[in-house]
Structure 1
Amino acid sequence: MSTTPSRFPEIVIPDETIYQTLFGSLTEDQRARPAITDSATGQEVSYGELQDMVDATAGALAARGVGKGSVVGLHAPNSLAFAVAFHGIMRAGGTVTTLGSLLIPSDIDKQLQQAGASHLLTMKALGDAGITGAASAGLPAESVIVLDDPEAGQASLIAEGRPAPEVDLDPATDIAVIPFSSGTTGMAKGVKLSHRNLVANMYQIGVTLEVSGVDHDWTMLAVLPFFHIYGMNSLLNASLLHRMHLVTMPTFDLVKFLAAIEKYRVDLTYIAPPIAVALAKHPVVAEYDLSSMKHMVSGAAALDGDLADSVSGRIGSTVAQGYGMTETSPVTHCAVLGETPAASIGHPVSNTEAKVVDVSDDSLPEITAPDSDDPEARSKSGELWIRGPQVMVGYLDNEEATARTITPEGWLRTGDIVDLDRDGNVYVVDRMKELIKYKGYQVAPAELEALLLSHPDIADAGVVGVLRESDGEEVPRAFIVPQVREGSPVKVDAEELMGWVAEQVTPYKKIRYVDIVEAIPKSNTGKILRKDLKAVPLQVTA
């Protein structure tokens, strides 16, 4: 078996902007259909109303200097306001850089500067972090719009009634969004995704939905964050292209999640493994009528096959896995219902090639599916490589990282280690990348190591992810080497150190365990041997 082509049908991807794809072909019947219901406010808009709000927002932003070449930060939870602002920015010709809801001011400052943002749209619902971060980044007050401000927010922009500008964009080269990702290793980098990247993946996702029996009349519940590429394109954009009714939730709360499914008679939702654990095990699930739920898609991290079966058995819906990354807009693989084993991410989506490469051999030979009658047989493990129209343009202002990630032949090296069964189904077995994924959020060990090394009592540090027994989440675990003063190591209190880190990072980046060690294991080139650190038994003393 050579390079794995898609088992999904080939499709024609139109040469369109995101706005043209989602709103350019709305029929009168579709304009009347419900598009988005904001569960936090109760507001519901039709597709026609949504388009009008996007156009008016684009006109107001254009009047404030947003246009082709502008980068605008968007700092908002899942909401109607996010959807309107997100598409309004792009309709005005601008590029969106989405900021996580939990980011602290210094993180917002850093991202706005790295992205070259001229404006920020934020919400009071997230506190003052956006305003403070924008001020630190040097944005003038008039360039910061608080969307839920009753006097000068989104409603005020729309009320100006300005027409959307005429903008000439090239879908293949003009950048639509710049989300930030740690990629395969290291610090967060801006990922340049063109209009074509996202449009292609919307259509690719649409094929997987159709194969799974998803209907245009279905209601989708969106709790995974829109600021992350998963929520942005797989949930928000793909549901709009499919003309579904999207119900937004600003944060995940199990009871509210279950209540929303019952209230809105939700047919489809996207989850991450921690939500699957709750659906499979929590007793409160039995108190709600979830009979409307037909299909769930799990992503953001590998889902155990037995867990998927438990959710399906308890809820009565089908459960399928998908796979992707920020650099691929995001989806590259998806299960086929009735064909793909529960533990597998399935096959490449339409118009996508994939191959598994033996990176332990300098010649990088391709690994093929096992030639076996045994359905449990697996190939040798290797790195998953992807080629397709959803692959990013490149990293922002980082040609070196781009060259390390995308080969001259256009293959994107995912950094994930996978194997194959005899039918070519892909199974994620490990990550080459050093990224820690906590509840779907990305935590770069290098960032925490750099912070730890700034502490006067720490001589060296290494950070890895460890599975926390209480909930199965992967959380940061730090190994630190104390400074030596007057011939003896300085005493470092683990609790105090974790508190010190917590004061300086976004909550999901907090270190949860600390080990005091004599040395950090490293290769002869100075690279931290994270496998050695991961092999150290966890002593729950911190």
Structure 2
Amino acid sequence: MSGEEGWDATVEEEPRGCQPQFDRRSGFDLQTGIYHSLVQLSEHNKIPVRHDLDTATFVLSQFPHPSEAESRVALIDLATNRRVTYAKLRHSINSLATGLYHALGVRKGDVVFVLSPNSLLYPTICLAVLSVGAILTTANPLNTESEIGKQVRDSGAKLAIAAPEEVHKLLPTGVPTLLTSRPSDDSSLSIEELIESCEPMELPLVKLTQSDTAGILYSSGTTGTSKGVLLTHENFISIMTLLKWSVDVTSSHNDVFLCFIPMFHIYGLVFFALGLFCSGVTTVLMQRFDFQAMLDAIQTHQVNNIPAVPPVILGMVKYTSKGSHDLTSLRRVGSGAAPLSKEVADGFREKFPWVELRQGYGLSESCGAATFFVSDEQAKARSGSSGRLLPSFSAKVVDFETGVALPPYREGELWLKSPAVMKGYLGNEEATAATIDSDGWLRTGDLCYFDDDGFLYIVDRIKELIKHNGYQVAPAELEAVLLSHPQILDAAVIPIENEEAGQIPMAYVVTAAGSEFTEDQIIQFVASQVAPYKKVRRVGFISAIPRSAAGKILRKQLVSLSQQKVLSKL
């Protein structure tokens, strides 16, 4: 079922008497250089424009009708099999909001810092914080005490909510901290107790507007210092609406989703802590990712949908053996947060021909989304693409030397405009001005091109391009070549400084157990498939490629590792 048929979405039409302003095939306007979305939501399903609508009110308004909410399961804990219905979830959100407001004095504009792995309580915490008009900021539990302290200070957090095993990282900050659950030997108040002890009460009217800040999400900082991305209620509501549309055109209300994406990340927050509740589906929740547990969960709970990241898809290609698990219930796997190579995508489709694989594109600064595939036929025909622009999104491909907006098949920096684009970076006017221009265009920093059917292809991060003898080499392209070899389980390519060439590509690889693949063999394997200026010049063997929680390669760590090895030889 196509998106145009599935949710009252229609191809954009010009008013009668007007000439089309852009090409109906690619979405490209030759006069302005702007790519337009080829799909428009109907009046019934458009993004709400009510100025006083906030995120929590919007999400709760999409819950199943009370007659269904008592029996419809919202969440299942994989470890304990505990189930939470939509009725119970609503009650917990309202109870916690009551406790935060009346017992703890949390008010509009207060920043609440959340430090916890995935849990059944995570969505309740997020929606309760937003219900009282407070601002949500989330952090990776793997962050160090120093990193946690920096984020608490930078965000101006007034209250922290933390898993018991993480609370020690918050002690030096002095911020009041509420535990998610109370250990038996601790007298501290916990979220669980607050929910149990507080009956939902009518809260004083909190005057919120869609332009108010709802969240401060910290970028991964893979190429620079982490910055606080200011996301408004309009940003979240826009994405919630588009997520509901994308789920409704591809799934049914009886579908079961699997969550292992961390909810502190924009991908997990938008999908699992907020968005999927708008579609009334069931989510099986993993606290932390484990590959075998994922396969068990698909079989046990008859999972249909998995929003995933490229390393997980690569693992399914490389590590699943025929007959070890019954994965026939699986119908759809999405890929986001990092580029998915054509080689890995093709390998997945060959191994799991009954599963639809759809890649999307987004970033924290666009509230986690921008492009999407509405049909499997499109995705198969354009392996390696990230899909078409979502409704409400426009784009430009800008030559980063001339500033000229480019037509299809010309590579440049991707610029985006949408109601989902962030307000800016917290306390950093210089970075905001460098990222969002005076007309509201978001400079993504990603090198890309559109084809003549309006499908987006991400080449690489501009900052990560390797400059070799005046040529630009995309690490992602070389990584895709490396991963096509059966003895290479994972790979990352980084720049190494070189006096003659400026930079040379170096590959770090994870090889299969017992492999005798040598550095020279790997270099020759890549050289046989790419232009001479692109070939890998050095190879390092490593036990695991360092990645962020969202699956992005942490190239800075590998660059540091390569520098340490050079110094150790001096």
Fold match (TM-score > 0.5): yes
**Is residue 379 of structure 2 the alignment partner of residue 346 of structure 1?**
no
Equivalent position of 1:136 in the other structure: 172
Q: Which residue of 1 aligns with 2:430?
A: 400
Q: CA deviation at 1:183?
A: 6.9
Distance of 1:100 and 1:336 partners within structure 2: 31
What is the 5 A alignment of 1:126-165? Answer: 127=165, 130-139=166-175, 143-150=176-183, 152-164=189-201, 165=203
| In structure 2, C-alpha distance between the alignment counterparts of 1:466 and 1:102, rounded to whole Å | 28
Q: Would the alpha carbon gap of residues 355 and 516 (structure 1) be closer, same or farther in structure 2, given more than 3 Å must change?
A: closer
The residue aligned with 1:170 is 208
Structure 1 residues 64-143: aligned runs within 5 Å: 64-124=104-164, 127=165, 130-139=166-175, 143=176
1:184-214 Cα shifts (integer Å, max 9, x gaps): 9531111111111011011112222333x21
Please name the residue that 1:320 is paired with: 358
1:539 CA drift (Å)? 12
1:331 and 2:408 matched: no
- The one-character-per-residue Cα deviations of 1:344-388 (angstroms, maximum 9, x if unpaired) are 011110111111111121xx111111xxxxxxxxx1210001000
2:461 pairs with one of 431, 448, 453: 431
Q: Which residue of 2 aligns with 1:514?
A: 561
CA shift digits 1:33-78 (9 cap, x unpaired): 1101121332211111001001111111112121101101111111
Q: In 2, distance between residues paired with 1:98 and 1:313?
A: 38
- The Cα of 1:509 is off from its aligned counterpart by 8.8
Which aligned runs of 4 or more in structure 1 are off by greater than 6 angstroms?
435-438, 462-466, 507-510, 537-542
Deviation at 1:304, TM superposition (A): 1.2
Equivalent position SS for 1:306: helix
* Preserved contact between residue 361 and residue 369 of structure 2 (Cα < 8 Å): yes
What SS does the corresponding residue of 1:65 show, helix, strand or coil? coil
Aligned pairs (5 A) from 1:180-199 = 180-181=218-219, 186-199=224-237
Distance 1:418 1:120, change over 3 A: same
Residue 231 (1) aligns with residue 268 (2): yes
Amino acid at match of 2:134: G
Measured on the aligned residues, the alpha-carbon RMSD in Å equals 3.1
The amino acid that maps onto 2:85 is S
Contact 1:92 1:167 in 2 (8 A): no
Number of aligned residue pairs: give it.
Answer: 449
Shift of 1:417: 0.3
Q: What CA distance in whole angstroms lies between the structure 2 residues aligned with 1:538 and 1:204? A: 49
1:222 is aligned, of 241, 256, 259, to 259
| Alpha-carbon offset, residue 5 of structure 1 | 1.1
* Unaligned ranges ≥5, structure 2: 1-27, 466-474, 480-493, 495-501, 513-539, 541-552
CA offsets per residue over residues 212-237 of structure 1, 9 Å max, x none? Answer: x2111111001111100011103332
* 1:410 equivalent in alignment to 2:440: yes
Question: In structure 2, do the counterparts of structure 1 residues 465 and 259 end up closer, same or farther at CA, with 3 Å as the change threshold?
Answer: farther
- Aligned partners of 1:466, 1:230: CA distance in 2, in Å? 30
CA distance in 1, matches of 2:428, 2:436: 12
Matches within 5 A, 1:280-319: 280-284=317-321, 286-315=323-352, 316-319=354-357
Cα offset, 1:178, TM superposition: 0.7
TM-score, scaled to structure 1: 0.77
Aligned CA distance change for structure 1 residues 269 and 182 (closer, same or farther; 3 Å): closer
Which digits, 9 at most, give the CA deviation of each residue in 1:262-309, with x for residues without a partner? 111111011111101111111446411111111111011111123113
Query: 1:413 & 1:303 partners in 2: Cα distance?
Result: 21
- The amino acid of 2:167's aligned partner reads I
* Contact 1:54-1:85 within 8 A present in 2 as well: yes
Q: Aligned letter for 2:149?
A: D
Between the aligned partners of 2:384 and 2:224, the Cα distance in structure 1 is 28
Does 2:508 align with 1:468? Answer: yes
Distance in 1 of aligned mates of 2:97 and 2:163:
18
CA spacing shift, 1:471–1:303, aligned 2, 3 Å: farther
> Aligned match of 2:61 in 24, 36, 40?
24
Aligned to 1:358: 399
Partner of 1:243: 280
Match of 1:499 in 2: none
Residues 248 and 279 of structure 2 are in contact (CA less than 8 Å); yes or no, is this contact kept in structure 1? no
**CA distance in structure 2 between the aligned counterparts of 1:106 and 1:284, rounded to whole angstroms:** 42
CA drift of 1:540 comes to: 12
Q: Decide whether the 8 Å contact of 1:186 with 1:434 is kept in 2.
A: no
**TM-score normalized with structure 2 length:** 0.73
What is the alpha-carbon distance in structure 1 between the residues aligned to residue 226 and residue 284 of structure 2? 30
Deviations 1:121-142 (A, max 9, x none): 1112xx2xx4233222222xxx
The residue correspondences of 1:260-275 to structure 2 (distance < 5 A) are 260-275=297-312
Structure 1 contact 279–285 (Cα < 8 Å) conserved? no
Q: Which amino acid aligns with 1:235?
A: F
How big is the shift at 1:6? 1.1
| CA deviation vs aligned residue, 1:427-471 (integer Å, no higher than 9, x gap) | 111112459999xxxxxx9xxxxxxxxxxxxxxxx9999653117
Amino acid at match of 1:312: R
Give the CA deviation at 1:24.
2.5
Matched residue, 2:240: 202
Q: 2:89 aligns with which of 50, 61, 70?
A: 50
Indicate how the Cα distance of structure 1 residues 166 and 8 shifts in structure 2: closer, same or farther if over 3 A, else same. farther
The one-letter code matched in structure 2 to 1:365 is: V
2:38 paired residue number: 7
Say which SS state the counterpart of residue 390 (structure 1) adopts.
Answer: coil
Output the amino acid matched with 2:38.
R
3-state secondary structure, aligned to 1:511? helix
Distance in structure 2 (CA, Å) of the matches to 1:471 and 1:75: 35
**SS across alignment from 2:81:** coil
With over 3 angstroms needed to count, the CA separation of the structure-2 counterparts of 1:36 and 1:214, relative to structure 1, is: same
- The answer (yes or no) to whether the contact 1:96–1:178 under 8 Å persists in 2 is yes
| Superposed displacement of residue 538, structure 1 | 10
Name the counterpart of 1:421. 451
Secondary structure in 1 matching 2:157: coil
CA deviation map 1:465-487 (0-9, x unaligned): 96531179xxxxxxxxxxxxxxx
CA distance in 2, matches of 1:285, 1:46: 35
Q: Report the more deviating stretch, 238-247 or 508-517.
A: 508-517
User: Within 1, Cα distance between the matches of 2:224 and 2:387?
Assistant: 28
SS of corresponding position for 2:392: coil
Equivalent-residue separation in structure 1 for 2:177 and 2:85 (angstroms): 28
Q: Write the distance in 1 (CA, Å) between the matches of 2:322 and 2:337.
A: 22
Q: Residue type of the partner of 1:6?
A: S
Tell me how far apart the structure 2 counterparts of residues 226 and 463 of structure 1 sit (CA, whole Å): 37
Change (3 A) 1:399 1:5: same
Secondary structure of 2:236's match?
Answer: helix
Q: Which runs of 5+ in 1 are unaligned?
A: 370-378, 439-444, 446-461, 473-493, 495-506, 518-536
SS of residue in 1 equivalent to 2:361 = strand
- In the alignment, the residues of structure 2 paired with residue 432 and residue 510 of structure 1 have an alpha-carbon distance, to the nearest angstrom, of 15
